[in-house]
Amino acid sequence: MRRRTGLAAAVLALVSGCATGPSLETQGEVTAPPGDSKSLVVGSAGFTESDLLAQMYTLLLNKAGYSTRILSVANRELYEPALESGQIDVVPEYAATFADWLNAKKNGADAKPVGSPDLDATMKALRRLAAPRGLTVLDPGRAVDQNAFAVAASYAERHKLKTLSDLGRSGLKVRLAAGDECVQRPYCAPGLKKVYGIDITGVDPKGVGTTQAKKAVQGGQDQMVLTTSTDATLDDFGLVLLKDDKKLQNADYLVPVVNRSRAGSEGVAAALGRLGPVLTTADLASMNEQVDSWRRLPQDVARTYLEKKGLL
């Protein structure tokens, strides 16, 4: 949807040609003092939420006296090596997902996941994996973007459903609109059955949070849809989230990750740390909606939010 191909290719060239970060063969304990470059590159993964976070990071860093520019790169396979090498200095990440990604990078695709619903355990694992790569993971904030399940508001009202436990106790048969991988993923159909006792009769492979999937629930062909906790369009389809009250989903709290040798200073941590205690999951969903549905620019939405919260 955005013009990212050229940027991604540029980063790939940087990563393959002049990377200066620790190699897999030489990784060990990082002992050099943390750097404090006054000119920083903030990475974005190129989707709305990542763009918004990158914009907020740049504004907060600018206020703290840093000059910044944003580089949008389409996928983690490109921007994470660039972060290690210092071609990118700061990125917004998701704790459990990034922990599992680094774990698979180190130990192979079949490595046992280290991300979990336990935020403290997830953060310990993430920092342990990030440090040898020259990366520092700053403190997580309040906002979390994780898998979530929604039903029609009328369906929830009729059956008195507020949580996934309520749905399990109801004994209702549920056809789930989701990605086809939901059949096997522990956080999806198997987990809903095991943890909540929900009677999943089948998975309708319409994708995660897609318009098609939401319309299937809105129209009654399916009873529930797999989406995310910052989905900004649920009201448009008359859908509501059911609370994951037994914490089936992993702790995908937002965390800034920085290249230690360039942006590991207390100044960077303090600037970015101002956002975490303020930004909530609901705030992030609202900003996503302003960009995706109201067609506002991410930089305008980010600035307005930070000014409203007294952070600028």
Per-residue pLDDT of the chain (312 residues; tens, 9 = 90+): 333 333 444 444 444 343 334 434 334 445 567 999 999 999 999 889 999 999 999 999 999 999 999 999 978 999 999 999 999 999 999 999 999 999 999 999 889 999 999 999 999 999 999 999 999 999 999 999 999 999 999 999 999 999 999 999 999 999 999 998 899 888 999 999 999 999 999 999 999 999 999 999 999 999 999 999 999 899 999 999 999 999 999 999 999 999 999 999 999 999 999 999 999 999 999 999 999 889 999 999 999 999 999 999
Give the pLDDT of residue 74. 77
Q: Of 85, 26, 91, nearest to 57 (Cα)? A: 91
Structure tokens at 38: 């006054």
Same domain, 91 and 200: no
Same domain, 119 and 190: no
Structure tokens at 161: 């459903």
Longest CA–CA separation in the chain, Å: 60
Which position has the token pair 């629930």?
217
Same domain, 277 and 184: no
Q: What is the pLDDT of residues 229-244, one digit of tens each?
A: 999 899 999 999 999 9
Same domain, 190 and 293: no
Q: Of 284, 259, 309, 250, nearest to 51 (Cα)? A: 284
Supply the range of the domain harboring residue 125: 5-21+34-144+254-308
In a domain, 191, yes or no: yes
In a domain, 26, yes or no: no
In a domain, 300, yes or no: yes
Give the pLDDT of residue 274. 98
In a domain, 226, yes or no: yes
Same domain, 205 and 106: no
**Domain finish residue from 218, 242, 266:** 242
Same domain, 17 and 126: yes
**Domain finish residue from 220, 242, 264:** 242
Give the pLDDT of residue 114. 96
Same domain, 122 and 94: yes
- CATH number of the domain bearing residue 63: 3.40.190.10
Total number of domains constituting the chain: 2
Give the pLDDT of residue 122. 98
What percent of the chain clears pLDDT 90, i.e. is strictly above it? 84
In a domain, 277, yes or no: yes
**Domain finish residue from 242, 267, 285:** 242
Same domain, 286 and 138: yes
Same domain, 43 and 124: yes
Same domain, 11 and 79: yes
Q: Are 121 and 233 in contact (CB under 8 A)?
A: no
- CATH number of the domain bearing residue 194: 3.40.190.120
Same domain, 83 and 184: no
Q: What is the pLDDT of residues 251-276, one digit of tens each?
A: 999 999 999 999 999 999 999 999 99
Give the pLDDT of residue 291. 93
In a domain, 249, yes or no: no
Q: What is the pTM of this model?
A: 0.83
Same domain, 43 and 108: yes
Residues 304 and 42: their CA atoms lie apart, in Å, by 19
